[in-house]
Chains A and B, each alone.
Chain A
Amino acid sequence: MTESPATSAAALEIRDLDVVYEVRGIDRQVLRDVSFSIDRGESYGLVGESGCGKSTTALAIVQYLPSNGRVRGGTISIDGRDVVSLSSRELRRMRADAVGMVYQNPGAALNPSIRIGKQVTEVFTTSGVRDSEALAAARDVLVRVQIADPDSVLDRYPHQLSGGMQQRVLIAMALAKSPSLLILDEPTTGLDATVEAEVLDLIDQLQEEFETAVLFISHNLGVISKMCQRVGVLYAGQLVEEGPVEAVLHDPRHPYTVGLLRCIPRGGVRKDHGRLDTIPGFLPSVGDQPPGCIFADRCALAQELCRTEEPLLTTITHGHASRCHFHERAHELPREEAAELELPTVDRGVPPLVRFDDLGKVFRQRGQPVHALSGVTASIWPGETLGLVGESGSGKTTLARSLLGIVVPTTGTVTLEDDELAPGLAQRSRQEVRALQIVFQNPDSALNRRHTVSRILRRSLKKLAGLTGKAAEQRLRELMHSVRLAERYVSSRPAQLSGGLKQRVAIARAFAGEPLLVVCDEPTSALDVSVQAAILNLLVELQAERRVAYLFISHDLGVVRYLSDRIAVMYLGKLMELGSAEVVFGGPHHPYTEALLSAVPTIDGGGRARIKLMGEIPSAADPPSGCPFQTRCHRKVGEICDREEPPLLEVEDGHQLRCHIPIEELRRLQERDAVGV
């Protein structure tokens, strides 16, 4: 039954894998004919949008499919051993010794009530290592994942560690037994950019050190491009393209890959340059198998042949294969035609629409003051998009919520068109309430799941625009039309809509009262990239039509750059840099901005040298003395940074910086380092 593992066997070899989930007595196929292999020491990326079968693949490899799922055909072998035919005892051994797994949410993967030490030593004791030795071994693996003080970490509970630290512990646990295969399922998706970069660096190093084969599952093509040698693109349970990362990302041969790559705002594209490409249509529902190519319905290049005959995965060049009849024409996929959009020209000569004056917010946490926001002064002009960038805990959301009146600031004021706003929402007039609206991050929780689209929008029309009856009916249709939402969805409930459609409803709701400014709080981060592109296009169109201003919060710098006229960079509740999108991205920038930009893995790669930040983001409850960034700054000039907080100064026209280093010096340093790459 078990073949003797040949020394030449690949670490992971999957052949013709078919996986089905049984739903109401019917088998629905979620993976079809998936074949790929990973050599020892190689790292293989698996990309695709949600519902494509990425995680199912990972679960099938370790035989952790849910109870209604099973492998119907094909083979999975790890080190030459067939996983599917293993007995449950052998399977346990295999999971313990040969495979390590790291999941997306590190907080949920650790037991909250057991100390880290116990959880890590358990990895060793289960395979018979004595307790005393296990503790030493646990300490040792923590050192290998670059945890500076392993003894104190071993003694803590998971919630006392930051997300990045938790993920390190999990990586340590996964690598503890030197597995031949490491499966990483979106390991950095919930982490901040600088932390993500550190974790990715760590994985990279460890992989070389341990010579482990890595299966890297991610929706982020930038991350895959940085981390993997080969990549497979999954679509609706099929591998549609596979090959070396370079080839697949720079010479894609499947229209889906081409579409996916074009959806992403990159290379400094901005809203005035043109629209983003989208992939029209939806993923076929699970188990649907059209007679021809599975992508044909969404493919602008589809021919008669594509609808009748299923293409096979054919090799194009060495190791590069595509499941497309016309792979040589994939790059001809038509682009989104550039609509004539007239974006509002922002006139900063007029009084600003919104002004924050020395805004500050102190929360109390167990009696301790936490400065979530301090001394933020900024303006937003009519028709302008102000991008707000920063890691978690930087005060972005608090700033936005103080503007909306959901959070009452401790100090400072918010002014709307020269009228000072009451700090709390309840004290604001209807005109003020309707002027400022928000689109939330997660459309699932933003829409009442018991209410229909019609009810959600009508209520907003009534409360914000004072419309009822016929007039409301008319406006409801106009509103749905303007967010490109088909009228037949009017009586649907949120559960019946896809993520993108839900977000359109949420946008329509925000626009019901003709707002002057809409806060967009990570409006696309819960969506797939192709849907993200469509939503970003919509936001730009709405801005062009209505001259609305946006306060756009996002951790995705590509998205912020695409949409924003000006960008504010925040750190620990303070503005660190504020300037036009070109200046903030082009430099000279604040050292923090510089680090943030360098941390983001891009598909195009290169460009910037990774700046390694030291340490963790300090807690806002215990901010560092002097400059807030000094504890991690790679350009720290000296003792003045510890002692004195630099003021936010206008260093050039419309460009404000909070740094002790003069702008010219920053320019010189950053240009020098860029040349050095």
Chain B
Amino acid sequence: MNAAAAAESSLQPPSEASVARHETLLALARSKTFVVGILIVGFWIFWVIAGSSLTPHDPLAQSPSVLARPFGHYWFGTDTLGRDVFSRVLAGARGVMTVAPLAMLLGVTGGTVLGLITGYYRGVVDEGISRVIDAFLALPLIVIAVTVITAVGQSTVTLVIVIGVVFMPLVARTVRAAVLAERDLDYVQAAKLRGEHAPYIMFVEILPNIMGPIIVEATVRLGYAIFAVAGLTFLGFGVQPPSPDWALQISENYSLLAGGSYWWTVLFPALAVASLIVGVNLIADGLRQVLDT
């Protein structure tokens, strides 16, 4: 019936047609930053799951050899109660790696919803919410968190909620920018022209197209969440004793640094926190390079 068109469709589609997802994974596997990040974070996730069952000593068990120097019987030495620092470092990821990802999830989910709404509706809704967000951003996270925790009492749930809620406006800002770039594209108009409602357009049409920046933002937020949890724990508002949490170890032992001795009780947990944050940020950088083209 239509020779030309039939011929057109019987030929191969352009071979550049790439299987996008496969390509993305391949690019990630080729990114050194990403792979190194995954190895570091993977290492700590392993220890979060394994916990104290695989450590050479029980991280909570006290021993008579108090403040033993490292690289002897105890690789990283022992602390004031004679607990093995090496085992405590390995087991110390659990507290922060529970609170931080949950807080990140809460922040990213809430922030995405907020960002979609403000970016999609613009106008008065956007103005109103954006002002509140700006006010929020003016306060340091630690100040808000300390105030709230003092008021309602310390618990893991409070910690997750406080950090998550503080992150929402930050995530919302990124998501809003991505939505603004999408909302004027014709596919959004086309959706309106078949009578779609706003929630459908926001969540089914626009959301899948802005997953790239959201994933990057989520990873960045995870880094900051770890940072925040460690900071609050150090101040005594976060993970509570007797957990072998890194920041808790630092906070318990930093006074020992005064004379320049007993450095191992602080240095090794500090390196552990640093490595985790660096690992997460490496993943974020790798993702950004691949996803934000």
Which of the 9-residue segments B14-22, B38-46, B130-138, B145-153 touches chain A? B14-22
Which of the 9-residue segments B105-113, B190-198, B215-223, B240-248 touches chain A? B190-198
**Residue B252 interfacial (CB < 8 Å):** no
| Given A406-B189, A425-B192, A448 and B205 contact (CB-CB distance below 8 Å) | yes
B2, A541: Cβ atoms closer than 8 Å: yes
**Residue B292 interfacial (CB < 8 Å):** no
Selected from A406, A449, A538, the residue in CB contact (under 8 A) with B209 is A449
B13, A278: Cβ atoms closer than 8 Å: no
A230 to B3, CA, bound (A): 34
With both chains docked as a complex, state the minimum distance between the C-beta of B18 and any C-beta of chain A, in angstroms.
Answer: 7
A512 to B193, CA, bound (A): 12
A564 to B1, CA, bound (A): 24
With both chains docked as a complex, state the minimum distance between the C-beta of A102 and any C-beta of chain B, in angstroms.
Answer: 28
A463, B196: Cβ atoms closer than 8 Å: yes
| Given A285-B16, A497-B13, A336 and B3 contact (CB-CB distance below 8 Å) | yes
A406 to B186, CA, bound (A): 11
Which of the 9-residue segments B4-12, B60-68, B69-77, B158-166 touches chain A? B4-12
A460, B194: Cβ atoms closer than 8 Å: yes
Selected from B20, B186, B193, the residue in CB contact (under 8 A) with A433 is B193
CB under 8 Å from chain B, chain A span 498-519: 498, 500-501, 506, 509, 512-513
**Residue B185 interfacial (CB < 8 Å):** yes
**Residue A404 interfacial (CB < 8 Å):** yes
**Residue A485 interfacial (CB < 8 Å):** yes
Chain B, interface size category, equals 20 to 34
A464, B194: Cβ atoms closer than 8 Å: yes
Chain A residues contacting B13 (CB-CB under 8 Å) are: 282, 489, 492, 496-498, 501
CB under 8 Å from chain B, chain A span 390-419: 404, 406
Chain B residues contacting A156 (CB-CB under 8 Å) are: none
B8, A534: Cβ atoms closer than 8 Å: yes
Chain A residues contacting B1 (CB-CB under 8 Å) are: 339
Chain A residues contacting B5 (CB-CB under 8 Å) are: 278, 484, 534, 537-538
A484, B9: Cβ atoms closer than 8 Å: yes
Chain B residues contacting A281 (CB-CB under 8 Å) are: 7-8, 11
Chain A, interface size category, equals 35 or more
Chain B residues contacting A297 (CB-CB under 8 Å) are: 11
> Which of A282, A297, A492, A513: most chain B Cβ within 10 A?
A282
A283 to B209, CA, bound (A): 29
CB under 8 Å from chain B, chain A span 451-509: 451, 459-460, 463-464, 484-486, 489, 492-493, 495-498, 500-501, 506, 509
A489 to B17, CA, bound (A): 12
Q: Specify the main secondary structure of chain B where it touches its partner.
A: helix
**Residue A450 interfacial (CB < 8 Å):** yes
**Residue A622 interfacial (CB < 8 Å):** no
With both chains docked as a complex, state the minimum distance between the C-beta of B271 and any C-beta of chain A, in angstroms.
Answer: 39
Chain A residues contacting B192 (CB-CB under 8 Å) are: 406, 425
Closest residue of B by beta carbon distance from A460: B194
A442, B4: Cβ atoms closer than 8 Å: no
Chain A residues contacting B17 (CB-CB under 8 Å) are: 492, 495-497
**Residue B208 interfacial (CB < 8 Å):** yes
Closest residue of A by beta carbon distance from B10: A486
Selected from B8, B18, B196, the residue in CB contact (under 8 A) with A500 is B8
A336 to B190, CA, bound (A): 33
| Given A285-B15, A339-B1, A498-B13, A430 and B195 contact (CB-CB distance below 8 Å) | yes
Selected from B4, B10, B12, B187, the residue in CB contact (under 8 A) with A446 is B187
**Residue A445 interfacial (CB < 8 Å):** yes
A440, B8: Cβ atoms closer than 8 Å: no
B16, A450: Cβ atoms closer than 8 Å: no
A280 to B4, CA, bound (A): 5
B193, A336: Cβ atoms closer than 8 Å: no
With both chains docked as a complex, state the minimum distance between the C-beta of A504 and any C-beta of chain B, in angstroms.
Answer: 9
Selected from B190, B191, B208, the residue in CB contact (under 8 A) with A440 is B190
**Residue A447 interfacial (CB < 8 Å):** yes
Selected from A446, A493, A495, the residue in CB contact (under 8 A) with B186 is A446
Chain A residues contacting B205 (CB-CB under 8 Å) are: 448
A498, B14: Cβ atoms closer than 8 Å: yes
Chain B residues contacting A513 (CB-CB under 8 Å) are: 194
B9, A438: Cβ atoms closer than 8 Å: no
Per-residue CB contact flags for chain B residues 13-33 toward chain A (1 = under 8 Å, else 0) read: 111111010000000000000
B6, A433: Cβ atoms closer than 8 Å: no
**Residue A337 interfacial (CB < 8 Å):** yes
Per-residue CB contact flags for chain B residues 176-206 toward chain A (1 = under 8 Å, else 0) read: 0000000001110111111110000000010
B11, A495: Cβ atoms closer than 8 Å: no
> Which of B2, B18, B209: most chain A Cβ within 10 A?
B2
B3, A437: Cβ atoms closer than 8 Å: no
Per-residue CB contact flags for chain A residues 10-52 toward chain B (1 = under 8 Å, else 0) read: 0000000000000000000000000000000000000000000
A337 to B6, CA, bound (A): 14
Chain B residues contacting A447 (CB-CB under 8 Å) are: 187
B4, A285: Cβ atoms closer than 8 Å: no
B190, A509: Cβ atoms closer than 8 Å: yes
Chain B residues contacting A449 (CB-CB under 8 Å) are: 209
A438 to B192, CA, bound (A): 11
Closest residue of A by beta carbon distance from B196: A463
21 residue pairs A–B, Cβ–Cβ below 8 Å: A281-B8, A282-B11, A282-B13, A282-B14, A283-B14, A339-B2, A406-B193, A441-B186, A445-B187, A446-B185, A446-B190, A448-B187, A448-B205, A484-B5, A486-B10, A492-B13, A498-B13, A512-B194, A534-B5, A537-B2, A537-B5
Extra contacts, 19 of them, besides A447-B187, A534-B8 (Cβ < 8 A), are A280-B4, A280-B7, A282-B14, A297-B11, A339-B2, A425-B193, A440-B186, A440-B189, A442-B186, A445-B186, A446-B185, A448-B187, A448-B205, A460-B194, A463-B194, A484-B5, A485-B9, A492-B13, A493-B20
Give the 7 A-B residue pairs with the shortest CB-CB distance, closest first: A280-B7, A496-B17, A484-B5, A450-B208, A486-B9, A446-B186, A278-B4
